[in-house]
Amino acid sequence: MNPIKALTNLITAKRRAAQQYAEFITVIRQAAALLSAGRPLSHLWPEVADAHAPCKAAPTPDVRDPKCCMHHVLATQHTAMLLEEPYFAHITAPSDTAGWQQLSATLTLAQDTGMSLATILSRLADALEAGEDAHQAREAASAGPRATASLLAWLPVAGLGLAHMLGASLTELMTTPTGWILLVSGAGLALLGRRWSARMIRTAQEP
């Protein structure tokens, strides 16, 4: 695959995921606002679904996890209510599966304990937004170290190229015991440094 196209696809996928997550949080806030206004839970999700444009797909009513768009996912929850199933128990997309599981558990907890559903949904939205802000901050903070690690990983190759341009014999490096020792030890240290840097970056990104 073309590297430029692959990078473009990666950026597009990340942007789409961020938009879907933001829409997911918006759904929770809309539900909390409607509940505060006195809407019954039995009519809540179809009304929230009307606030989101449907996609071109037309999933059948018996599909538990449409995955296509927020409108159809919310619309299927009327079927879940009729079947007396937990809301969003089978939903995995759009947005991430963990978010839907949190929402499903929150709704079940509120129904079982009698807690104010509007209040608990507002708090869930606040917690999700805070988590996303923290994630974005970690991503921004680790962008510089990631770029530096990638640059340092290519320096040995650049050094060999520069040495060749200055007249050094790469053949001697490949045909003598000393050259092989230097080559293998250099490659090993470069690999070790790359793995060490990647591990430190992963540790820094953990919540």
Quote the pLDDT of residue 7.
Answer: 62
Report the number of secondary-structure helices (H) and strands (E) in the chain.
Answer: 8, 0
143 token code pair: 């962008």
Quote the pLDDT of residue 26.
Answer: 93
For the chain, residues with pLDDT lower than 50 are none
Interior/surface letters 24-61, b for 16+ CB within 10 angstroms, e for the rest: bbebbbbbbebbeeeeebeebbeebbeebeeeeeebee
Dmax over CA atoms of the chain, in Å, equals: 83
Letter for the amino acid at 194?
A: R
Quote the pLDDT of residue 206.
Answer: 66
Quote the pLDDT of residue 3.
Answer: 61
Domain map (residue ranges) of the chain: 3-115, 138-205
Cis amide prior to 94 (ω within 30 degrees): yes
Instruction: Give the three-state DSSP class for 51.
Output: coil
